[in-house]
Amino acid sequence: MPRENDVAKQQRIGERLTRAMTKAHMDRSELATLTGYSEAQIVSWEHGGAPLYPIELIKLCHALDVMPEWLLCWKRRIATDHACAPNRGGSEASDTK
Architecture of the domain spanning 4-71? Orthogonal Bundle (1.10)
Question: If pLDDT is split at 50, 70 and 90, which confidence band does 97 have?
Answer: very low
Choose among 86, 36, 40: nearest CA to 63: 36
Distance, in Å, from the CA atom of 31 to the CA atom of 22, rounded to the nearest integer, reads 11
- Report the C-alpha gap between 45 and 81 in whole angstroms: 28
Residue-wise pLDDT for 35-89, tens only, equals: 999 999 999 999 999 998 999 999 999 999 999 999 998 876 655 444 444 555 5
The DSSP symbol for 97 reads: -
**Rounded CA gap, 59 and 52, in Å?**
11
* Full-model pTM: 0.73
| Domains of the chain, residue spans | 4-71
